[in-house]
Amino acid sequence: MSFVKPKMESHSDMSEKGESSNNVVMGRPKEEDESESRSNGDNFLNGVASEDEPDSVLSNSSRKRKYSRHTANQILELETAFKENPHPNEKVRLELGKKLSMDSKQVKFWFQNRRTQMKSHLERHENGILKQENDRLRIEHIAMQGAMKHPICNRCRNQAIIADINVEEHQTKIEYERLKEEVKRISVLADKLLGPLSSLEGSMASVIANPAFGLPEGINGFGGINYANAASPMGLDFDNGLSSPPPVIISRSLANVDASYDKSMLMDLALAAMNELLGLAEIGEPLWVRSLDGGGETLNLEEYARSFTPCTGMKPGHFATEATRATGTVIVNSLTLVETLMDMSRWVEMFSCIVGKTSVVNVIPGSTCGSWSSNLQLIQTEFQIISDLVPAREMKFLRFCKQQAEGVWAVVDVSVDTVQESSQPHEIGNCRRLPSGCIVQDMPNGYSKVTWIEHMEYYENVLHHLYRPLVRNGLGFGAQRWMATLQRQSEFLAMLMSSVDSPVVCSSGQTSMAMLAQRMTRNFCAGVCATIHKWESIQQANGEDAKLMMRKNIGDPGEPIGVVLSATKTIWLPVKQQRLLDFLLNEQTRSQWDILFNSGPMQQLVHIAKGQNIDNSISLFRANVDAISDSENNMLILQDTCTDATGSLIVYATIDAVDMDVVMNGGDSSSVAFLPSGIAIVPDCFQDYSGANNCNVETSWEKDNGFSGTGSLVTIGFQVLVNSSPAEKLSMESVQKVNNLISHTIHGIKASFKSK
């Protein structure tokens, strides 16, 4: 076997071939290539072959390179045809070739070259744009690095102080998110492989969200996430302007329901509760006894026991009962009202003075897509009276909606404490909700007739003596309060949606101010009742001292950053609710109790009516210009007033004039920072309490302490920023200042009525 060495080309041969190749590029002479760069008119007959040309054609074209230059007329026609169709078929090419005296292949190759040329041009253009964008991002990155080294506060333009963040807490949050995603991924895989495993997923979710595992603030055992973008009541989007959205935690899957609940048992309980609600709404006397003032009806418990079998079991022996019914008309149709009641964020916003933090799970969706009929939800929430003497009622109940007829709906709530499947005896908290809810019926004028029923059993010993008559009378948590709030809120929303521009503030500005006032009122209620946020108790109410609670705000742009102190005190005054409200709203005498009005009467800049009652309004005040300095003149006072037969509420806060100007022009109010203060008033109900036919309790405590039964219970609350750094600790000096502030307010009000 022999190996033949391949023949090597000589240096001279290679040089000659190199010269030849330099003069021919892609089958064209060098001078032809230069000529084409000057004009699109240059082309050749067989210089470029398509990918589908046979090898024989390629070899022939390499041997026979015939070149030709297109005329200006040919180029013009070809360009016109290219714009209409850059990919002509064989028939079109033949027609063009015949028209322009060109071969079909010449037309084909011209179109190929033109497409390649266009593609190259576009790529160069895109590369240029990407290069510019890259340069811009690099400059922005450098600027952000510099800003991070020297952070500046956007409000005061001074150097920002970064609070110390607990590294361990931050790591816990990251781990929580990772575990949550892992549970979601495993659940999806399990559903695909083994079918729905709702009980397993619910158990895992409850373990992860259990506060006992040291999870960060804001995560609880409801198994959901904060809901931040929902429509607000009756179609008005309050959430658009809220820095802190309604405290609603929503989960759309049954997988988040505790494993101790059976779906069929929940449905059976909901149906039984619906039947009882319909019966309670239909029957009149003797089941219901009308109150002396005609404001509502009270359930006759003996008649109820004979007529109904309790679907929630027997009442615990140490529990008291409150059951009331109220009927009224609402400025909204039945379907819109039902949507408000079944959409938790809208429900919380509508009843923000009654409802605190809320969680909801859609157990069974509606019967048809987009319908609320037969929808079943499991809700965990807090009901509150605006006072530090009444703890919030925490409960878990079902909400079931059913359309009874055209334009007639029923929505019922019932506690689920007695339907848990567990070897351990179920625990009943301090209260439970018997079948309660409303029947909504359309009226010819577009309004709705609403019958509202509230039926609760609760442990009365947790209530302060001052508030027991109010709760028993139904004005605390009863149907009268729910109905009055619903009517007042729907009336306000109807007026706001039909508002027109005024000389001071435009229509969109009125809506923005309403959003801001709504947030202010909700935050005040949360501060007094210690709901929504996590508060740390500093001092209990005792004698002259107020109840003090503290929390730290680090990231909420709707509040000042730092340590927030809440001070609350409840007193009794021998003054009727309306007389006391008139005094507190009187601008001429307000300086007697409000330190913000110490400079004298305020100038009212804006007044927005919220209903036919002139006291229901939103107002904007400016201090007397002659009596204050320029720095104080930069602050305005926003005030929201709500009142009805069940109580009155005045909430106010100082707002920066620049921020308020943006709001009044229809701008976003979510970043407007403030801390609210206010006063809540409810009738004492002592006389009604002693005369109620179903209240077999003693009233000696009220008599012995000098309460005549013709007065009001007044709760005064302040939220104050005591330190602008969240990392700082609360000082005794700050506590003393807040105690003095609330004492000054109480003393001023009492002195005005010559009350001790």
Q: What is the DSSP annotation of 338-362?
A: HHHHHSHHHHHHHTTTTEEEEEEEE
Evaluate if residue 193 carries a pLDDT over 60. no
Q: Which residues pair with 439 in a beta bridge?
A: 410, 451
Q: Summarize the confidence of residues 462-473 as an average pLDDT.
A: 87
Q: Encode pLDDT of 205-219 as tens digits.
A: 333 333 333 333 333
Lowest mean pLDDT among 32-36, 333-337, 572-576: 32-36
CA-based R_g, the chain, Å: 38
Give the number of other CB atoms < 10 A from CB of residue 176: 17
Burial classification of residue 512, based on how many CB atoms lie within 10 Å of its CB (0-12 exposed, 13-18 middle, 19 or more buried):
buried
* For range 747-753, the mean pLDDT: 89
pLDDT for 681 equals: 95
Would you report the helix, strand and coil content of the chain in percent, each value rounded to 5?
40, 25, 35
Residue 754 above 70 pLDDT? yes
Model confidence band, residue 441 (pLDDT cutoffs 50, 70, 90): very high
- 462 pLDDT exceeds 50? yes
Q: What is the pLDDT of residue 57?
A: 45
Summarised one tens digit per residue, pLDDT across range 595-621 is 888 766 778 899 999 888 899 999 999
Residue 327 in this model has a pLDDT that exceeds 90: yes
**405: which DSSP letter?**
E
Residue 538 near residue 693, CB atoms below 8 Å: no
Strand partners, 637: 621, 654
209, two tokens: 């969200």
3-state secondary structure 180-227: HHHHHHHHHHHHHHHCCCHHHHHHHHHHHCCHHHCCCCCCCCCCCEEC
Q: In sequence order, what are the beta bridge partners of 604?
A: 621
pLDDT band for position 688 (cuts 50, 70, 90) = low
> Lowest-pLDDT range, 295-304, 516-525, 674-683?
295-304
Reply yes or no on whether the pLDDT at 694 is more than 70. Answer: no
Provide the pLDDT for residue 310.
Answer: 79
Q: Amino acid identity, residue 181? A: E
CB 649 within 8 A of CB 386: yes
Contacts of 164 (CB under 8 A, 6+ apart): 727
Amino acid at 103: D
Q: Given this model, what pLDDT does residue 144 score? A: 85
Which of 285-294, 399-408, 473-482, 704-713 bottoms out in mean pLDDT, i.e. has the lowest? 704-713
Helices (H) and strands (E) in the chain, counts: 21, 25
pLDDT-wise least confident of 129-143, 171-185, 333-347: 171-185
Q: Are 617 and 610 in contact (CB under 8 A)?
A: yes
Reply yes or no on whether the pLDDT at 190 is more than 50. Answer: yes
Among 234-248, 364-378, 710-724, the minimum mean pLDDT is found in 234-248
- For the stretch 335-352, pLDDT in tens is 999 999 998 889 999 999
Q: Are 673 and 436 in contact (CB under 8 A)?
A: no
378 in Cβ contact with 260 (< 8 Å) = no
pLDDT of residue 65: 55
- Count of CB atoms situated within 10 Å of the CB of 644: 18
CA distance 714 to 568: 10
Residue-wise pLDDT for 709-744, tens only, equals: 578 999 999 999 988 888 888 888 888 888 889 999
SS3 assignment, position 490: helix
Q: What is the pLDDT of residues 37-54, one digit of tens each?
A: 444 444 444 444 444 444
- pLDDT of res. 19: 42
Least confident of 81-95, 262-276, 391-405, 498-512: 498-512
φ, ψ of residue 73 to 5 degrees: the values are -65, -40
How confident is the model at residue 567, as a pLDDT?
92
Is the pLDDT at 34 greater than 50, yes or no? no
Q: What value does the mean pLDDT take over residues 612-636?
A: 75
For residue 459, is pLDDT > 90?
Answer: no
In angstroms, the CA 567 to CA 585 distance is 22
pLDDT band at 12 (very low <50, low <70, confident <90, very high): very low
Q: pLDDT confidence of 98, banded at 50, 70, 90?
A: confident
pLDDT over threshold 70, residue 404: yes
Mean pLDDT in residue range 105-126:
90
Q: Report which of 395, 387, 376, 120 is spatially closest to residue 271, judged by C-alpha positions.
A: 376
DSSP single-letter state for residue 152 = B
Q: What angle do CA 31, 36, 41 make, to 5 degrees?
A: 130
Contacts of 411 (CB under 8 A, 6+ apart): 338, 341, 342, 399, 400, 401, 437, 438, 440
pLDDT: which is higher, 731 or 543: 731
| 386 has a pLDDT exceeding 90 | yes
Tell whether the model's pLDDT for residue 537 goes beyond 60.
Answer: yes
Which 8-state DSSP code applies to residue 158? Answer: S
Residue 281 pLDDT > 50: yes
| Residue 159 DSSP code | B
Residue 177 — very low, low, confident or very high, per pLDDT cuts 50/70/90?
A: confident
Task: List the one residue out of 492, 570, 534 whose CA is nearest residue 238.
Answer: 492
Phi, psi of 388 (to 5 degrees): -75, -10
pLDDT band at 370 (very low <50, low <70, confident <90, very high): low
Question: Measured in whole angstroms, how far is the alpha carbon of residue 434 from the centre of its chain?
Answer: 29
Distance between CA atoms of 80 and 72, rounded to whole angstroms? 12
DSSP state at residue 575:
S
Rounded Cα distance between 430 and 180, Å, is 32
H or E, element range at 682: strand 677-683
Mean pLDDT in the chain?
76
Between CA 586 and CA 568 the distance in angstroms is 23
Q: Is the pTM of this model over 0.85?
A: no
> What is the rounded average pLDDT of the residues 228-232?
35
Report the C-alpha gap between 309 and 329 in whole angstroms. 31
CB 36 within 8 Å of CB 30: no
Confidence band (pLDDT; 50, 70, 90) for 582? very high
- In angstroms, rounded to a whole number, what is the distance separating the alpha carbons of residues 106 and 61? 13
What are the angstrom distances between the C-alpha of 514 and each of 43, 208, 250, 609, 718?
73, 38, 25, 11, 21
Supply the DSSP string of 519-545, one letter for each residue: HHHHHHHHHHHT-SS--EEEE--BTTB
Of residues 170 and 195, which shows the higher confidence score? 170
Question: Is residue 527 a contact partner of residue 548, using CB atoms and an 8 Å limit?
Answer: no
Q: Are strands 408-415 and 393-405 parallel, antiparallel or unpaired?
A: antiparallel
Report helix angle 72-84 to 90-100, nearest 10: 160
Site of tokens 């070899």:
59
Q: 186 falls in which pLDDT band (50, 70, 90)?
A: confident
Question: Coil, strand, or helix at residue 28?
Answer: strand
- Cα separation, 298 vs 471, in Å, equals 12
Cβ atoms of 409 and 334 closer than 8 Å? yes
**What Cα–Cα distance (Å) separates residue 158 from each residue in 142, 163, 589, 603, 671?**
21, 15, 39, 32, 18
d(Cα 251, Cα 69) in Å, to the nearest integer? 73
How far from 92 is each of 61, 108, 518, 523, CA to CA, in Å? 24, 10, 70, 74
Please report, in angstroms and rounded to a whole number, the separation of the first and last CA atoms in the chain.
Answer: 128
Confidence of residue 226 (pLDDT cuts 50, 70, 90): very low
Secondary structure letter of residue 711 according to DSSP: -
